[in-house]
Amino acid sequence: MHFGAAFAFLGLASMVCAYSDHRVASLIGDVTAGNYGGAVQTAFELESEYRDDLIKEAIDGLFENNVRNLFDFAYRLNRDGGFMIVRESFPVEVERILDERFMKLMNRQDNLALKLASTVDEGGDRMAYGDGAGYITRNIAWKFTPLWENNGLYFYIFGVERNQYLKLAYSPDSAGDHTAYGGDSPTDNRYRWYLVPARIQGRNLYYIVNKEFNQPLKLGRALDWAHDRVAYGHNGDFHGNPEQFGWYITEY
């Protein structure tokens, strides 16, 4: 079970009676526990009964409980021939991300799109920022490349304009945060990320969490001369705080 899955699972048992069908709770429980074979089987059974409404109810439950395994489930459905279930029952951005479309990452707190700097440092890396100018350029376009590993889904997040992959620095700052950069070669877990769903006022957001440091992506509070904000991994708990750490992910 991934980090956060146990946290989300605690509230599921007490909520079973709130669902319209026991299979909704079963589906949520299987996804939360990483039992994707059982979850896929239940989804196919519901599809055969034309009960897409129950699948969507389960997806809503995964969002409300911030279940990290949402994308893992969608990936397994795609792999096992359930791509129509993903298309019809999941939020559109889930399908787009798994299709490796170009996406825009906009943080909730500041409404700034993630980008990479135009200049490189001595190691060839570029710092990541929230774009204060708000330009609609390819520098705010990103592609998620899925990687299935140890019964879990991770992503390489590729900056289309700069041809670099999002990562966190090795060394933290005084607050324990790791600065975000673009790098050329995705060689280790600092380049791997997973997405945790959240929802505010009916809108879907995602925590973008680094595998190596288990830190969610955030923007700093200081503004530079261009009104950009430096991107970091946050040293601390992020659950229950999508206002500060949530990102809207939409097609570019």
Write the pLDDT tens digit of every residue in 30-69.
999 999 999 999 999 999 999 999 999 999 999 999 999 9
Residue type for position 53: D
Helix, strand, or coil (residue 194) = strand
The residue with greater pLDDT, 15 or 147, is: 147
Best CA proximity match to 243, nearest among 66, 107, 146: 107
Strand partners, 247: 107, 206
Read off the pTM: 0.91
- Secondary structure E strands in the chain: 102-107, 113-116, 126-131, 142-149, 152-159, 164-168, 178-183, 192-200, 203-210, 217-219, 229-233, 247-251
Best CA proximity match to 192, nearest among 234, 224, 160, 147: 147
Q: Per-residue pLDDT for 90 more than 60?
A: yes
Q: Per-residue pLDDT for 230 more than 60?
A: yes
Task: Identify the band that residue 132 occupies on the pLDDT scale cut at 50, 70 and 90.
Answer: confident
Confidence at residue 19, expressed as pLDDT on a 0 to 100 scale: 78
Segment among 129-138, 174-183, 224-233 with least mean pLDDT: 129-138
Name the percent of the chain lying above pLDDT 70. 92
Strands 178-183 and 126-131: antiparallel
Close Cβ partners of 122 (under 8 Å, ≥ 6 residues apart): none
The mean of the pLDDT values for the chain is: 92
Q: Per-residue pLDDT for 12 more than 70?
A: no
Give me the domains of the chain, ranges plus CATH numbers.
5-90 (1.10.10.2400), 100-251 (2.80.10.50)
